[in-house]
Amino acid sequence: MTQTPLRSTSARSTPARTATASAPHLGGLGLFTVLLGAALPLVDFFIVNVALPSIEHDLSAGPALLELVVGGYGVAYAVLLVLGGRVGDSLGRRRLFLIGMAAFGVTSLACGLAPNAWSLVAARVAQGAASALMLPQVLATIQATTEGPRRARALSLYGATGGLSMVAGQILGGVLVAADLAGTGWRAVFLVNVPVVLLGLVLAVRTVPDTRAGRPAGVDVPGTLLLALSLVSLLLPLTEGRAAGWPLWTWVSLAVFPVAAVAFYFTERRADRHGRTPLVPPSLLKLESLRRGLALLLPFSVGFGGFMFVLAVTLQQGLEMGPVAAGLALAPMAVAFFGASLAGPRLVTRFGSRIVTAGGVIQAAGIAVLLATLRYGWPDLGPAALAPGIALAGLGQGFQMPVLIRLMLSDVPADRAGAGSGVMITAQQSAVALGVATLGSLFLALIPTAGVRGAVCVTLLVQLALIALTVVLSLRLPRMR
C-alpha cells in the first residue's frame, strides 16, 4: 500500500521535514510507549468493576450512581473517539497523544481523591474524554510509521494489548483493592495510573515520532454533535435505565436515537457530496475490509463487554470469591489471549482470515464448557475448576481480535489513518459499553427470580448466540495472507 508522505518533527521540536524526506519511523521503544497509551484507557474501563462494592460502601453510592461511575466513562470515551482521531490528524498525533495522556493522569488523580460519589462520576467522565484524545493516536501512528511485516506485527501487538488490557484491568483491580496500599482501598485503582502516565510522557517525548494527515481537515461540527447525540441517547439510558427504574426520560432518549442516527448519516453523506470532509467519511465504509470487519466487530465486542462484566459480578457475588481469587480466576484467559495474539501473524500467513472463524468456534467451545461448569458445579467452584472454560474462551478471542483489527485497517490510506482508527475504535468501545449495559442489565434483572447461577447461565446462552453470529459473518471476510 502506498503511503502518503507525512510531516514529522523530532523529539527536540526541530522544523518540519519536507515532503521529500523519509517517512517517520516508529522504533521498538516507541511502539511500547504507544501501546502503553492504548492499555491505560482499556484497563480503566474494566478496573473499576471489582472496586464497585468498596466504592458503594465508602461513598454511600446507590446503584444508579455506581452505574454512572462505569457508564459515564464509557459514554464520554465512545462519543469523543472519532473527534480525537480527527484532531490528531490536523494538529499532530504525538501532540494529541501527549495532551491526552497528561489529561488522563490528572483525571485519574481526581478520581482517586474524589470526596463523594458525584465528584467521582464527574472525574470519570473527564477521564473518558482524556482517553478519547489519546487512544486514536495509537493506531494512527502505527499506520503512518510502519509498513509490511512491521505493521502486521505492530497491529497484532495492538490487538493483544487491547484484549489483554480488558482482562488485566479486572485482575489488577482485584489485587489493588485487596492490598489496600497505605489505606487507599479502592482509590489505588485510579492513583496507580499517575506514575505510569509520568513514565509514558517521558518516553513519548523521546521515542514517538510526530505525524499528521497530508491534507488535514477541519472539525465537522454538525457531524460531531449528531454522533454525540446518537451515542448518548442510546448508551446513557441503557446504562442507567435499570438502576433508575426506567423513568420517562430513558424512553424519550431511546426514541431520539434512531432519529439522530439517521440525521447523522444523511448529514455526513451530504458533506461528502459537497466536497467537505465529514467526521465519518462514507467513502471509508466503501472499503470492503473495513465494512465487513465492522459488521463482525460489533457483536464480538458486545459479547466481550457483557461477558467481562457478568463474570466479575458472578465471581464476587455469586461464588463469593475475594478480589484476589476473582483475579486469579481470570488469569488463564489473559495468558491464553496473549499467546493466541502472538501466534496470530504466523497463522494468518498460512490460513488467512479463516483463523477468525476458527477463533469463534474455539470461543464458543470455551463458553459452552464454562456454562456446563457453572450449571453443574455450583456453588463449589474455585479458579481451578473454572480455568478450562475461561482459558478456551480467551484463546478463541485472541485468535479473533488482533486479526480483525489488522484486516479492517489494511486498506485505509495513511493520510486517513486517524479517521479510520477513530471509526473502528468508536465502534468497538461503543459496542463494549452496549454489551455491559444490555447483557449486564439482563443478568442483574434475572438475579432476583433466577438467582446468580440461573442469571449467568441465561446470559452465557445469549453470548453463544452472538458468537454464532460472528462465526457466520467471519465467512464473509476478505481473504488475507
User: How far is 380 from 378, CA to CA, in rounded Å?
Assistant: 5
**Which amino acid is it at 53?**
P
135 touches 85 (CB < 8 A) = no
Cα 272 from Cα 257, distance rounded (Å): 23
Residue linked to cell 446504562: 239
Give 317's DSSP letter: I
Cα 179 to Cα 283: distance, rounded to the nearest angstrom:
51
- Lookup result for grid cell 473517539: 81
> Please, what are the averages of pLDDT over each run of 10 residues along the chain (481 residues)?
36 37 74 90 80 81 75 80 79 90 95 91 92 87 82 78 74 80 85 93 90 69 86 84 84 94 89 76 78 88 86 83 79 84 76 85 94 89 89 90 79 69 78 83 86 91 93 82 54
In whole angstroms, give the CA distance from residue 437 to residue 308.
12
Question: Are 400 and 359 in contact, with CB atoms under 8 Å apart?
Answer: yes
Distance from C-alpha of 174 to C-alpha of 338, rounded to nearest angstrom: 20
Q: Which three cell numbers stand for residue 41?
A: 484507557
User: How confident is the model over 376-432, as pLDDT tens digits?
Assistant: 888 888 888 999 999 999 899 888 887 887 788 777 776 666 667 777 877 887 888
**Backbone phi, then psi, for 392, in 5-degree steps?**
-60, -45
Residue with cell 481523591: 113
For 59, how many CA atoms within 13 A lie in the half-sphere containing its CB? Answer: 26
Distance CA 77, CA 384 (A): 35
Task: Give dist(CA 173, CA 191) in Å, integer.
Answer: 12
- Spatial contact of 219 and 87, defined as CB atoms under 8 Å apart: yes
- Cα-Cα end-to-end distance for the chain: 14
CA dist list (Å): 471 to 101, 144, 295, 372, 400: 36, 31, 12, 21, 10
Per-residue confidence (pLDDT) for residue 417, from 0 to 100 = 66
Helices (H) and strands (E) in the chain, counts: 15, 0
Per DSSP, 61 falls in state -
Q: What is the DSSP string of 357-381?
A: HHHHHHHHHHHHHHHHHHHHHTTS-
Which pLDDT does position 414 carry in this prediction?
65
CA pair distance 359, 363, nearest whole angstrom: 6
Question: Torsion angle, CA of 423/194/73/67, rounded to 10 degrees?
Answer: 150
Q: Is the dihedral of CA 217, 218, 222, 225 positive or negative?
A: positive
Backbone angles phi, psi at 307, to 5 degrees: -60, -45
- What are the backbone dihedrals phi and psi of residue 196, each rounded to the nearest 5 degrees, phi first? -65, -40
d(CA 242, CA 246): 6
Can you tell me which residue has the cell 450512581? 65
pLDDT at 215: 64
- Per residue in 105-135, pLDDT (tens digit) is 999 999 999 999 889 999 999 999 999 889 8
DSSP conformation letters of 103-163: HHHHHHHHHHT-SSHHHHHHHHHHHHHHHHHHHHHHHHHHHHH--HHHHHHHHHHHHHHHH
Q: How many residues are present in the chain?
A: 481
Residue 245's contacts (CB-CB under 8 Å, 6 or more residues apart) are none
CA 4 to chain centre: 28
Which helix (H) or strand (E) is 340 found in, with range? helix 323-351
Residue 4 contacts by C-beta under 8 Å, 6 or more apart in sequence?
214, 413, 414, 415
Question: How far from chain centre, in Å, is Cα 356?
Answer: 19
Q: Which of 39, 24, 27 is nearest to 93 (CA)?
A: 24
User: Which residues are CB-contacts of 323 (< 8 A; sequence separation ≥ 6)?
Assistant: 50, 173, 174, 175, 177, 178, 316
What whole-number distance in Å separates Cα of residue 391 and Cα of residue 394? Answer: 5
The C-alpha atoms of residue 436 and residue 302 are separated, in whole angstroms, by 7
